[in-house]
A = this chain, B = another copy of it.
Amino acid sequence: MVGGGQLARMTHEAGIPLGIRFKLLADTPQDSAAQVVSDVVIGDHRDLDTLRAFAQGCDVITFDHEHVPTAHLRALEADGIPVRPGPDALVHAQDKGRMRARLAELGIPAPRNRIVRDPADVAAFAAEGAAGEETDGTAADGNTPAGSGSGAGFPVVLKTVRGGYDGKGVWIVRSADDPTAAEPFKAGVDVLAEEKVDFARELAANVVRSPHGQAVAYPVVESIQVDGVCDTVIAPAPGLDPDAAVHAQELALRIAHELGVVGHLAVELFETRDGRVLVNELAMRPHNSGHWTQDGAVTSQFANHLRAVLDLPLGDPRSRAPWTVMANVLGGDYPDMYSAYLHCMARDPQLKIHMYGKTVKPGRKVGHVNIAGDDLPDLRERAAHAAGYLRGTITE
C-alpha cells in the first residue's frame, strides 16, 4: 500500500487475520501506518524509481491516498505490476473535473458545474444558474442542473480539480464582487465551479468491487460534516426511505462498474430537500464514511478493500447491529490525550476507540470512536461525548 496514513494503518490491521503480507511505502517512519507495519519502505510516492523499487515482490499495489501521479501508475502497470484501482479508474478520484465530466456522460445526477477560467467566468456561471438555464453544450461536462434554488446564482463553490481534501482546496464565493473568487486560480490548476446545493443532509454509499466484477454494497450512511470535516457517521442513515437507500446503492455500484473501480469506492452524496441524491465526491480507497464498518458490519471496509484488490471473494457487508455511530476524534489544544483516553474507556466499556498514533495538532484527525447498539440517541450522545472529551471540548 502506498501512503502511510491511518487508512493504511487500519488496512494492515484488517490484513493480519487474512494472513496477508503487507508492504508499506511511507513518507517517514513516524507515519501512522509505519508505526505498526513490519515491512516498510520510506520514500517519496511522487518518485517513479522509488515506486518501482517498492513494487518489487508485490502481488498488487493499492493506495492510502490519491496523490500518486497517473503517469507513474501507468508505468507500474507497464512493468507488469497490478495497480488497483487502476489509473483509468483512479483519475476520477484524483481529478474532480474528470469525475464531473464522466458522471455527466453517464447521466448521473450531480450539482450543476463546469470548469471556470477566472473570476468573471465564475460570475457567468452564477448567472447561468440564476437564469435557471440548462447547461449548454459548450460546458465542460454538461451535467443537468440540480434545481436546488440557489437564488441569484450565488453562492458558488469553487474547487481546484486536484489536491483538495477535508475542506482544503474549496472556496465559497458569495457574490459577483467577492474577492474570494480570485483565490483558487492562484494554484495554477483547473478550477471547477459548482452550485452550492441547499441539501437536507449528506449521505455516503460505500461499495467494494473486485477485478472479476463481484461487488458488495454497505448500508447507506448519513455523514455529518462540521467545518468541511466529517464529524459523525450514522449507519444506516436514519429515516432514509428503503427505496432511496437501494437507489443510492445502485448508483454507487453503477459508478464502480462504469469507471472500472477495483477496491472500495465511497460515493459522497447530497440528499436534496425533495429526496433526490446528487453525487458530491468520489474516493477510491477506504473512507472515513466507512470507519463504522470496523465494529458495525460483518466485514469491514478495510478487509473488503484488501479482498477486492487481491481478487479474493468479498465478505458480507451487512450491519451487525441496528445502529452504529462513528465520531471522529480531532486534536485539541492538549497534546497528551492519555487521561482523556482512560476516562472514555472507564465511562463506556462498549466504546471502540481507534487511535492513529499521530501527534496531536488542533483540528487534525487523530482517531475515531465507534459504538453499536439499539438506541440511536443514546449511541449518538456516547460517541459525541467520547470524541469531545478526547478533543478536550467536553470536560464533564
Q: Give the B-binding residues of A (Cβ under 8 A).
A: 9-10, 12-13, 16-19, 21-22, 34-38, 40, 294, 298-299, 307, 312-316, 320-321, 341-342, 345-346, 349-350, 352-357, 367
User: What residues on B are CB-neighbors of A316 within 8 Å?
Assistant: 349-350
Closest residue on chain B to residue A17 by CB atoms: B354
- Report which of B40, B312, B350 forms a contact with A298, defined as CB distance below 8 A: B350
Q: Are B307 and A345 in contact (CB under 8 A)?
A: yes
User: What residues on B are CB-neighbors of A12 within 8 Å?
Assistant: 16, 36
Apart from the given pairs A10-B16, A19-B356, A312-B341, 16 other A-B contacts in the complex at a CB distance below 8 Å = A9-B16, A10-B17, A12-B36, A16-B36, A17-B353, A19-B341, A19-B355, A21-B357, A22-B36, A36-B37, A36-B38, A38-B38, A38-B40, A298-B349, A314-B345, A320-B321
Contacts A17-B354, A355-B17; is A345 near B34 (CB within 8 Å)?
A: no
The smallest beta-carbon distance between A22 and chain B, in angstroms, is 7
> Can you name 8 A-B residue pairings with CB atoms under 8 Å?
A9-B16, A17-B294, A18-B353, A19-B341, A36-B38, A38-B38, A307-B345, A314-B345
The smallest beta-carbon distance between A111 and chain B, in angstroms, is 35
Closest residue on chain B to residue A214 by CB atoms: B346
**Complex Cα gap A316–B345 (Å):** 10
**Complex Cα gap A341–B10 (Å):** 22
The smallest beta-carbon distance between A294 and chain B, in angstroms, is 8
User: What residues on B are CB-neighbors of A35 within 8 Å?
Assistant: 21, 38
Closest residue on chain B to residue A298 by CB atoms: B350
Closest residue on chain B to residue A351 by CB atoms: B315
List 4 tightest A-B contacts by C-beta distance, closest first: A19-B355, A313-B346, A313-B345, A316-B349
**Complex Cα gap A338–B34 (Å):** 28
User: What residues on B are CB-neighbors of A350 within 8 Å?
Assistant: 298, 315-316
Q: Are B315 and A349 in contact (CB under 8 A)?
A: yes
**Complex Cα gap A35–B315 (Å):** 24
Q: Are B349 and A314 in contact (CB under 8 A)?
A: yes
The smallest beta-carbon distance between A59 and chain B, in angstroms, is 11
User: What residues on B are CB-neighbors of A352 within 8 Å?
Assistant: 17
Closest residue on chain B to residue A343 by CB atoms: B313
- Report which of B10, B37, B341, B367 forms a contact with A38, defined as CB distance below 8 A: B37
User: What residues on B are CB-neighbors of A19 within 8 Å?
Assistant: 341, 353, 355-357, 367
Closest residue on chain B to residue A315 by CB atoms: B349
